Chains A and B, each alone.
Chain A
Amino acid sequence: MISKKEISELADLCKLSPDDIGREDFLESLEEVINLFDKIKDVGVEGVEPTYQVNDYKEPLTDDIVKESLPQEEVLKNTEEEKYGYFKILKVVD
């Protein structure tokens, strides 16, 4: 069972409303999925390395050359509010 405290902590971490993800039907669906996860307890993994990526790949190093990037107005065109060429958000420091 996921406790109310856990839901409140999860909501804070995922920036979702605790009332919304704390709905009874929603909690039931979460628990149903979490119950599935118990199955993996049977699998022995001692000495097994984790797979983070399926292909061997190296972080490529690129030459330090200045390239043209997106113009400011392109970057800002999807925001709800902008000011002086910046994203406008609430004042966070007085």
Chain B
Amino acid sequence: MKIVDLKARDIREKIVSKELTALEVVEAFLEHIENTDKDINAFISIDKEGAKEAALRIDEKIKKGEKVGRLAGIPIGIKDNIVTRDLRTTCGSKMLENYQSPYDARVVEIIRKEDGIIIGKTNMDEFSMGTSTETSYFGPSKNPLDTDLVPGGSSGGSAAALASKQVALALGSDTGGSVRQAASFCGLVGLRPSYGRISRYGLVTLSNTMDQIGVLARDIEDAGLFLSVLAGYDENDPTSVDLDIAPNLDFKADGIADIKAMKIGVPSELESLGIDKEVMEAFNKAIETIKDQGGHVEEISLPHLEYALETYLLISNAEASSNLARFDGLRYGYRAEDYETLDELYVKSRTEGFGDEVKRRITLGTYILTKSHAEEYYKKALKIRTLIREDFDKAFEGVDVLLLPTSTCQPFKLGERLPNPVDMYKMEEATIPASLAGLPAMSIPINHKASLPTGLQVIGKKFREEDVLKLGLAIERMVE
């Protein structure tokens, strides 16, 4: 087996047991990036020297017999909206093309402390606004399974890097489904934990009441490892929660016992979401397999599911328009060259610095928040959000986890949907509900033998990532 084929946990184990050095690992991954990233475009910035130095420090620790961290020697890709001191953080935008953060995000601090190796910053839709990574100022990433196809998004660079084995783990961020959707398009595991589970300190915000840092991994065990390392309260993010994460799961178990012990719900309103036939077929087949293994699957009702997309668009655009007001061309970010007044400086810098999708969402968000529309749109959406949360609470009185498809469609050709924003938004219809309610949700690849990947989404009760991982592990074993 080649080094780049190894699972993240195996890399650490082989480094600790001195079968491999961290430097050998890093060099193998960097060489692989050199050979593949011209076609994939997964990275915006690569830190060859920094990665090698980090590897040498780990090898030195091992040589001296010192203890190493839980991510020791694992090459990791970081979505480029998570700030790093030593690499620029662009958010896939001309606005931040040369932005150099003066501090590390909390998750970056943790990765460094746990001896993880940051390989570079991955491509993304501009300010996370997109579902295909095509709105990036740095050009689209390609799906490693077929380079004519998009890798999903907005964490598409992270997914593409991981699927093409340029890294062994990757960080993304998930507002309406960006981690899960990209994972489903690239045949990976993508986990968005409960809102508050991982500190958002240093994550450039899109929609602050829904943004959540999530993990991408090649299997459930790697995802579980990464989550357990990153989870925790951070005084710099008052919305992070001070709750213990469940201890590591027994990944040696076959998971069948867990399936039998859990009650699984499937929403009866799935038809209202306009999910493609191929996705529904793969989904139904997975449900049948779970039932065949003795799983208790029952229909539950989420009556407001069909309003989730509109509710999400109203709230997230309103929040985005306010959050992106900080890009004024003064303190950091792009500044236009010609201006005569302060107002002209703002307008020109923002008009030249942002791409169309960002401008569309800022304009829509501003429209939604104007005095004449705030009541009928924004405030009403906040109330429907309550109804959606209550639907979940009720459903979870009878079941432990819910199953839905991840994306409403399979990966499509580059450029195919870009001209129609509404088509793009609709792809997140099945991932948005968990975002609105702040629930943990994970995408697992289900149809390995088919030509195009499909994701199955497991949604758990709030702060019950353990259930999501357990059922995910069982499903992973079944579909293998």
Residues of chain A whose beta carbon lies under 8 Å from any beta carbon of chain B: 2, 6, 9-11, 13-17, 20-21, 26, 29-30, 32-34, 36-37, 39-41, 43, 45, 48-55, 57, 59-60, 62, 70, 74-75, 77-81, 87, 89-90, 92
Contacts and interface: CB of A to CB of B under 8 A. Distances in A.
Contacts of B387: 43, 45, 48
- If over half of B's interface residues share one DSSP class (helix, strand or loop), that class is named, otherwise mixed; here it is helix
Given A15-B328, A29-B360, A77-B102, 19 more contacts: A14-B363, A17-B348, A34-B364, A34-B367, A36-B422, A37-B313, A40-B377, A40-B384, A50-B383, A50-B386, A54-B438, A55-B462, A70-B102, A78-B99, A79-B332, A80-B329, A80-B335, A87-B330, A89-B330
- If over half of A's interface residues share one DSSP class (helix, strand or loop), that class is named, otherwise mixed; here it is loop
A39 B304 CA distance: 12
Interface stretch (B214-222, B235-243, B258-266): B235-243
B450 interface: no
Interface in B324-381: 325, 328-333, 335, 339, 341-343, 345-348, 350-351, 354, 356, 359-360, 362-364, 366-367, 370, 376-377, 379-381
B142 to A, nearest CB: 25
B323 to A, nearest CB: 12
* B contact residues, range: 35 or more
A16 B363 contact: yes
A48 B238 CA distance: 26
Nearest to B348: A17
B307 A43 contact: yes
B103 A78 contact: no
B362 A14 contact: yes
Q: Which 9 residue pairs spanning A and B have beta carbons closest together?
A: A54-B438, A50-B382, A78-B332, A45-B383, A74-B102, A51-B385, A17-B351, A80-B335, A15-B346
B364 A33 contact: yes
A14 B322 CA distance: 9
Contacts of B425: 33
Interface string B193-230: 00110000000000001000000000000000000000
Interface string B28-54: 000000000000000000000000000
A38 to B, nearest CB: 9
A39 B347 contact: no
Given A55-B239, A80-B335, A43 B364 contact: no
